[in-house]
Structure 1
Amino acid sequence: MLQSPLASTEPPRDCPRCPRLVALRQQCQAEHPDWWNAPVPAVGDPMARIAIVGLAPGRQGANRTGRPFTGDYAGDLLFATLARHGLAQGQYDARPDDGLVLRDVIIINAVKCLPPQNKPDPTEIRNCRPFLADGVAALPRARTFIALGQIAHQSAVKVLGGKLPKARFAHLAEHRMPDGRMLIDSYHCSRYNQNTGRLTAEMFDAVFARAVEVAAALG
């Protein structure tokens, strides 16, 4: 079992806050007892300057493996991009024990549990936001944040103290938060977005190139 770098901020494995997500978790536990099937913890460097806010675990990805973006299509692009920018070391092999190490970056999901059809409802997003807030508060050096998709963007803005009407989601949009932290938006690296061309590898790369620049400037 992987140890979260932010263990004190994580929900319990049997978190009861969202009945719909609990029901799906129990269904997965019955169908696939060897899967993770629990809230997925953060992964990465607790002293990171860059924090990635994802959406939620994928059924065949993090809900199965227990590590964000591990074992699904989205993770292939994400971890390859992190490696290209010096933010990941080792070989990504779609397994939580592949030895991959994240450097100066950490991944925290806006929603910790698998939602049906990868779509958490507003109540579930709100129920999970305190865990995101606690995770962000436990990062002493993180000043640069990347939101993957609109739901992650909305939760990140609220956690970072911004105002949504003033911080509209758009790919590569940058939002300066009241305390000086920066949020950079990206389309989610989902299979759908990649297959439809909404997000290309070049577009995704540009987000991380910019995040590395901003992190260097903010210190």
Structure 2
Amino acid sequence: MDSSGLDGRGLAELDARITGCRACPRLVAWREEVARTKRAAFAGQTYWGRPVPGFGPADASLLIVGLAPAAHGGNRTGRMFTGDRSGDVLYAALHDVGLASRRTSVSADDGLELYGVRVTSPVHCAPPANKPTPEERDMCRPWLVRELELLRPSLRAVVVLGAFGWQAALPAFAEAGWAVPRPRPVFAHGARVTLRREAAGADTAAADAFGSVELFGCFHVSQRNTFTGRLTPAMLRDVLRTAARAAGLTTRP
């Protein structure tokens, strides 16, 4: 992916550019094959079948970072975490704490609104077996870097779902200008790391004023985690509430 030309055109322009990306042959072939063959339950629907952009307001103070769109979820609907079981869990929790207008997310035109929250992923195409390669992750990174840069004026907290997202997000934050501790923080559910903005010659207070971000780890909302109880709705709500407070957002108890 050629990130040249990704200047200050805003998130809407970035999202439009993402949806036209064809940089990873394996992912292009897979997402388009899934869109042609479909799942029987969705045989009458037209699949999106393209890269899935982020979803949420351009002035979000809280960002949620997943892994990649689901083959019959985001790859079908065209919206992150929409139309699959993982999305059912995530949006229900966001609604429960007061950060979403409804508990369900079934289609891109269902009227769902997020309040101060944006949802994205480090890989924008549905991968076979939900497993992008490291090369595909790295190819997609400039999109996440630019998204972080565009969100920088308002962004105060980030929830990363799962170890893959954590490993992909840290280099993106570094490229976008935040100072990532060395050695890099290890992913864990409930992990919290402060990333300060790097500013040449600035002291800590100046860097904080320049825009620090609180990074939170959370187990992914995959069926493997939610069906086994590794991640419960209460655990997810707790992380979201803590991150929302760090982002300056008001939540329901």
Q: TM exceeds 0.5?
A: yes
Match of 1:70 among 82, 100, 114: 82
Contact persistence 1:154–1:164 (CA under 8 A): no
Match of 2:55 among 40, 43, 58: 43
Alignment of 1:1-219 (within 5 A): 6-10=11-15, 11-32=17-38, 34-90=46-102, 92-139=104-151, 140-161=153-174, 162-163=180-181, 165-179=183-197, 180-216=212-248
Structure number with bigger Rg: 2
CA RMSD of aligned residues (A): 1.8
In the TM superposition, residue 55 of structure 1 has moved relative to its aligned partner by 0.6
TM-score by length of 2: 0.79
Letter aligned with residue 157 of structure 1: L
- Distance in 1 between residues matched to 2:111 and 2:18, nearest whole Å: 25
- Distance in 1 between residues matched to 2:193 and 2:105, nearest whole Å: 34
Structure 1 unaligned spans of 5+: none
Tell me the SS of whatever aligns to 1:168.
coil
Contact persistence 1:157–1:164 (CA under 8 A): no
Offset from partner CA, 1:121-173 (integer Å, 9 cap, x none): 10000000100111111112011011011111112211222147331100010
Contact persistence 1:40–1:66 (CA under 8 A): yes
Offset from partner CA, 1:80-101 (integer Å, 9 cap, x none): 1111222111452512211111
Query: 1:204/1:164 Cα in 2 relative to 1: closer, same or farther (>3 Å)?
Result: farther
- Distance in 2 between residues matched to 1:147 and 1:38, nearest whole Å: 23
Letter aligned with residue 143 of structure 1: R
- Distance in 2 between residues matched to 1:159 and 1:177, nearest whole Å: 12
My pick for the range that moved more, 90-99 or 105-114, is 90-99
Contact persistence 1:40–1:57 (CA under 8 A): yes
Contact persistence 1:91–1:99 (CA under 8 A): no
- Distance in 2 between residues matched to 1:97 and 1:183, nearest whole Å: 30
- Distance in 2 between residues matched to 1:9 and 1:105, nearest whole Å: 17
How many residue pairs match? The answer is 213
